Amino acid sequence: MSVGIAYGTEHAPAWRGGFGRLWTAAAVSRLGDGLRAAALPLLAVGLTDSPLLVSLVTAAGYVPWLFFGLLGGAVADRVDQRRAMWAVDAVRGALTAAFALAVWLDGAGIALLLVLAFALTTLQTLFDNATTSLLPAVVPSRALGRANARLMTAQTTAATFLAAPLGPVLFGLTAALPFGVDALSYAVAALLVASLRLPAPERAVRAAGRTLRQDIAEGIRVLRRDRVLRALCTANTVVNVGIGALVATLVLQVTGWLHAGHTGYAVVLVAYGAGSVAGGAAAGRLSALLGGRVRSLAPGLALQAGCLVLAGTVRSLAVTAAALAVFGALGMVWNVNETTLMQQRTPEKLLGRVSAAMRTLGVAGAPLGALLGGATAQILGPNTPLLLAAALVGCALPALRPIVTTPDGGRERTTRK
């Protein structure tokens, strides 16, 4: 069956049939993640004065993708994705609950923060690839674009409008509280996913003796041969070096360079989230206006680079918040289009592996970026990682040239089997 991208003819996903529960589980889980993401840098800053150590906590949250990302995708294609998702969330809930107890007992140090970040992301490599593979079983192909946009918008809304302002408040009441709520969110999400009623996934008969390494290699070959996905992956890897630098040091830029404190940090996170929600709502219309999902990517990257330059040169909380709001909107458009293109262009039996290859290569630059951001902030000042991120985002633009200059906008076809 051909799976071309029908711009302007995408359908809204039906809330029945499992999408409503999957949407709710994603929103609840991301609410807890947002509380933890808002509280973890505050906890790290309270434990050390070293920008490099603070950035190392962020780097530890990316590194597992380099070791286990491809393996997680191969496993996701071999197992029942629904069962994998709820089992992973149950384990993550238990780990986060144990961490919350350690914080409450004043037993959490930088080393424990690093262990938690590494462990949760290791489990996430299976969870995220299983989620990407499960969605096409819940909604039809023609509704994937809107389904991805609604899932990502719900997750961003929960993480920013609710978690970003609430996280510092809960942390101020007691440092363990945000992590305890995060553990509860994992438990609720696990129950919702476990309650999904879907037919058992069809699995092609595998050749005797076929290994996970062979499965991983097959997914990489599909990614390498698809011109659009290969270009997207290359650009995303470069961009994520800059994103790693930005995320790892944003708390230092807001509380140090802007002197805006915890409240200012919450304001910036909320502004970024508001922009992301707006970008998710407008992703389909903007893509159609610019001629397709592919053609909207390059202008978005150029504007994102400009936003980072503005935030890194103008010493104003209002300007930083506004710039990161626009940055977040454009980033959401990119994420929706990238995920939908991958799902529509990849054979169903390979979704987990191709998704894993794209994520692993995309995330590969983030730990390096986090360390570069920490070193840059320590040597040159807390605002310089934003300028570094801007330069890297700009460097990613040439990678998109092979697909945006082709006569059909780079919209090749892949047959799904």
DSSP 255: I
Would the CA dihedral through 105, 47, 368, 293 be positive or negative? positive
Size of the chain, expressed as the number of residues it contains: 417
Q: What is the pLDDT of residue 206?
A: 53
**Residues in the chain with pLDDT values less than 50:** 1-9, 205, 406-417
- Whole-model pTM: value is 0.67
pLDDT at site 6? 36
Q: What is the DSSP letter of 350?
A: G
Question: Which among 340, 239, 331 is positioned nearest to 277, based on CA atoms?
Answer: 331
Q: Please report the pLDDT score of residue 63 as a whole number.
A: 78
Of the candidates 123, 109, 113, the residue with the CA atom closest to the CA atom of residue 64 = 123
Answer for the pair 226, 412: CB distance below 8 angstroms, yes or no.
Answer: yes
**Spatial distance between the Cα atoms of 162 and 149, rounded to a whole number of angstroms:** 19
Quick one: pLDDT at residue 2?
28
Please give the Cα distance from 125 to 408 (Å, whole number).
Answer: 34
Contact 297, 409 (CB under 8 A): no
pLDDT of residue 5: 35
Residue 76, pLDDT score: 73
Beta bridge partners of 415: 2
What whole-number distance in Å separates Cα of residue 104 and Cα of residue 163?
20
Q: Per-residue pLDDT tens for 160-169?
A: 678 877 888 8
What one-letter code names the amino acid at 67? F
Q: Is 173 helix (H, G, I), strand (E, B) or coil?
A: helix
CATH fold of 19-197+211-404 reads: Growth Hormone; Chain: A; (1.20.1250)
Residues 215 and 74: beta-carbon distance below 8 Å: yes
Q: Residue 146 corresponds to which tokens in the numbers above?
A: 């809107």
Per-residue 3-state assignment (H helix, E strand, C coil) for the chain: CECCCCCCCCCCCCCCCCHHHHHHHHHHHHHHHHHHHHHHHHHHHHHCCCHHHHHHHHHHCCHHHHHHHHHHHHHHHHCCHHHHHHHHHHHHHHHHHHHHHHHHCCCCCHHHHHHHHHHHHHHHHHHHHHHHHHHHHHCCHHHHHHHHHHHHHHHHHHHHHHHHHHHHHHHHHCCCHHHHHHHHHHHHHHHHHHCCCCCCCCCCCCCCCCCHHHHHHHHHHHHHHCHHHHHHHHHHHHHHHHHHHHHHHHHHHHHHHCCCHHHHHHHHHHHHHHHHHHHHHHHHHHHHHCCCCCCCHHHHHHHHHHHHHHHHHCCCHHHHHHHHHHHHHHHHHHHHHHHHHHHHHCCHHHHHHHHHHHHHHHHCHHHHHHHHHHHHHHHHCCCHHHHHHHHHHHHCHHHHHHHHCCCCCCCCCCECC
Q: What region, left, alpha or beta, does residue 197 occupy, with left being phi > 0 and alpha being psi -120 to 50 degrees?
A: beta
What confidence score (pLDDT) does residue 209 get? Answer: 60
Paired with 2 in beta bridges are: 415
Distance CA 77, CA 61 (A): 24
